[in-house]
Amino acid sequence: MTQLKISGMICDSCATHVRQALEKVPGVQSARVFYAQGSAEVTLAGGTQADTLIAAVDALGYRARLDEGHAPPPSGGLLGKMQSWLGGDSGKRTGNEASLHVAVIGSGGAAMAGALKAAERGARVTLVERGTIGGTCVNVGCVPSKIMIRAAHVAHLRRESPFDGGIAAAAPAILRDRLLAQQQGRVEELRHAKYESILDGHEAITVLRGEARFQDGRTLAVKLENGGEQTVRFDRCLIATGASPAIPPIPGLKDTPYWTSTEALVSETIPQRLAVIGSSVVAVELAQAFARLGSRVMILARSALFFREDPEIGKALTAAFRAEGIEVLEQTQASRIAHAGGEFVLTTNRGELRADKLLVATGRAPNSRGLNLGAAGVNVNSQGAIVVDAGMRTNAAPVYAAGDCTDQPQFVYVAAAAGTRAAINMTGGEAALDLSAMPAVVFTDPQVATVGYSEAQAHHDGIETDSRVLTLDNVPRALANFDTRGFIKLVAEAGSNRLIGVQAVAPEAGELIQTAALAIRHRMTVQELADQLFPYLTIVEGLKLAAQTFTKDVKQLSCCAG
């Protein structure tokens, strides 16, 4: 009887697959595989070589070697190669080396969540990062942008507020160098606390600094940043490489010193004139921030702001921006861009436009190029995004993907949730990511927040709807704030009156949208939402009032009427 040690099995189903593969090897009379012990007992006919057994197991993506004490002297051929892959000719391995090996490419939200969960579930993790630890969110995305947006909001309130009649306004002095130092100090603090120090102190996670690419479906080649190359063989791999700013093919653009959000967030100066190409999240957030810090801003929108969302969202935000002096140019495209004499010259269908700086914010493209995904057989869509199912599985069985490099929504909390679920599935569990009640927030002022279906999306899916729109002049908190910009819209399924979607444009709309998400998740009707207790003089009370409009005229209700 020949005994094998097998690593990489994570369930009884794995053991069954290994047994079936072994029984197909010519000369194998019987095979028994034990998942819990990581071993196999094989009865062979004379002449059958052990390396053919190892090759059969390896073909499934597991690792096999002759059980210690039963191995013959090392030889060449496939067995010798297998032993060298395992760390030397002796074939000896420690208990930790025998655990499931997970490779993670990236170090952002999805990668960190996946690496930590995989290690928590007993895996040995190798994390590969080619750039700055922490990915987009903490370094060049969520954290610095929200700090800048908050600073701009404070500057705006000092310059202008609904209470200027009783509180004298004063134009603030913007000390950009100090704001930037404060912003980047917090970025570095969070990167160290939430990423670098965690990785440094984790015994089950090894960090390789370098660029990874697939050699085949079980192997990465890592070009190390300090020179040389290292081969990483894995049982499972999580691709979590994020995304980068997408640059439109406008003639002349690539020859100019344009900004993406990355450069804009660390700019040492506030330009006098800023042109922004784009009409969605990054474009509008940074456009308003720079305007409030002193730039004269114009936004070039190919269609309208947020044209993919409910039309009322774009209309409300456009009105708010124009009231602040931000120029929103709808149905405007640049056909050529030049930079001369220290200024940008944009040739558009509205004529020639000029600016001191140009921010290009037309979306983000998945970081999938350079990974040699074809070698692993991993499919991408027409935009280069890795296609995954609800369990973060790609079409190539041992390879998973999560975060902005996939075809899922590009939000860091989606990425983190996806990374966690990928790790559970890579280590023998079963988890799926349900995005049916995914909240989204845009940090403009007023904020934009959405969850679930818009009317158009529901109709596209064949769902008949009943909807109501509540303007904020019906919300007591907004009246008390003297700020009634925006609305709250509820979308219900016709007949059942079950809440299926909410869109809101309101100050602090992001603080109310999770309540809406929970209502949708728990399949509440609008009447059940209307019957809930909401604290008086809060913006979230607007959800209750909006729900009441399905059966009542809220203008005829007293304050905090139940």
Rounded to whole angstroms, how far apart are CA atoms 407 and 412?
14
Rounded to whole angstroms, how far apart are CA atoms 274 and 428?
52
| Inter-residue contact 468 to 449 (CB < 8 Å) | no
Alpha helices in 427-472 (DSSP H): 455-460
What are the tokens at 265? 């967030």
Between residues 204 and 19, which one has the greater pLDDT?
204
Residue 87 has pLDDT above 70, yes or no: no
Q: What domains can you pick out in the chain, each with its CATH number?
A: 2-85 (3.30.70.100), 101-135+185-245+365-426 (3.50.50.60), 253-362 (3.50.50.60), 440-556 (3.30.390.30)
Choosing from 9, 112, 148, 237, which is the catalytic residue?
A: 9
Residue 34 binned pLDDT confidence (cut-offs 50, 70, 90): confident
Between residues 307 and 81, which one has the greater pLDDT?
307
Rounded to whole angstroms, how far apart are CA atoms 159 and 98?
63
What are the tokens at 66? 């002759």
Residue 554 binned pLDDT confidence (cut-offs 50, 70, 90): very high
**237 a catalytic residue:** no
pLDDT digits (tens, 9 = 90+) for 417-435: 999 999 999 999 999 999 9
Q: How many CA atoms lie within 13 A of 528 on its CB side?
A: 13
**405 a catalytic residue:** no
How many of the other CB atoms lie within 10 Å of CB of 185? 11
Alpha helices in 193-323 (DSSP H): 197-200, 261-265, 281-292, 311-323
- What is the rounded average pLDDT of the residues 86-102? 50
Return the minimum-mean-pLDDT range out of 22-31, 76-85, 233-242.
76-85
Choosing from 14, 237, 405, 426, which is the catalytic residue?
A: 14
Choosing from 62, 258, 400, 453, which is the catalytic residue?
A: 62
Residue 465: per-residue pLDDT:
98
Instruction: Write down the pTM of the prediction.
Output: 0.83
Torsion 59-63-66-72 (CA) sign: positive
Residue 439 binned pLDDT confidence (cut-offs 50, 70, 90): very high
Choosing from 112, 137, 148, 524, which is the catalytic residue?
A: 137
**Strand extents, DSSP E, 402-480:** 440-442, 447-452, 465-471
Exposure string (b/e) for 241-267, b if CB count within 10 Å is 16 or more?
A: bbbbbbeeebebbeebebbbbeebbeb
Q: What is the DSSP string of 163-210?
A: TTTTS---PPP--HHHHHHHHHHHHHHHHIIIIIHHHHT-TTEEEEEE
Backbone dihedral region of 523: left (phi > 0), alpha (psi from -120 to 50 degrees) or beta?
A: left
Output DSSP code: residue 259.
B
Q: What is the largest CA-CA distance in the chain?
A: 99
Place of tokens 């600016």: 355
387 CB-contact burial (10 Å; exposed 0-12 / middle 13-18 / buried 19+): middle
| Inter-residue contact 445 to 156 (CB < 8 Å) | yes
Residue 38 binned pLDDT confidence (cut-offs 50, 70, 90): confident
What are the tokens at 55? 């090759």
Using alpha carbons only, give the angle 389, 390, 394 rounded to the nearest 5 degrees.
30
- What is the rounded average pLDDT of the residues 360-371? 97
Choosing from 195, 298, 453, 559, which is the catalytic residue?
A: 559
Residue 200 has pLDDT above 90, yes or no: yes
pLDDT digits (tens, 9 = 90+) for 312-336: 999 999 999 999 999 999 999 999 9
Comparing C-alpha atoms, which of 13, 102, 23, 32 is closest to residue 56?
Answer: 23
**142 a catalytic residue:** yes
88 CB-contact burial (10 Å; exposed 0-12 / middle 13-18 / buried 19+): exposed
Compute CA 42 distance to the chain's CA centroid, rounded to the nearest angstrom.
46
Choosing from 1, 11, 35, 453, which is the catalytic residue?
A: 11
Rounded to whole angstroms, how far apart are CA atoms 372 and 222?
12
**β-pairing, 487-493 with 465-471?**
antiparallel
Rounded to whole angstroms, how far apart are CA atoms 319 and 321?
6
pLDDT digits (tens, 9 = 90+) for 257-266: 999 999 999 9
Rounded to whole angstroms, how far apart are CA atoms 336 and 340?
13
Rounded to whole angstroms, how far apart are CA atoms 99 and 83?
16
Residue 76 has pLDDT above 50, yes or no: no
Residue 83: per-residue pLDDT:
38
Residue 16: per-residue pLDDT:
82
pLDDT digits (tens, 9 = 90+) for 142-197: 999 999 999 999 999 999 999 999 999 999 999 999 999 999 999 999 999 999 99
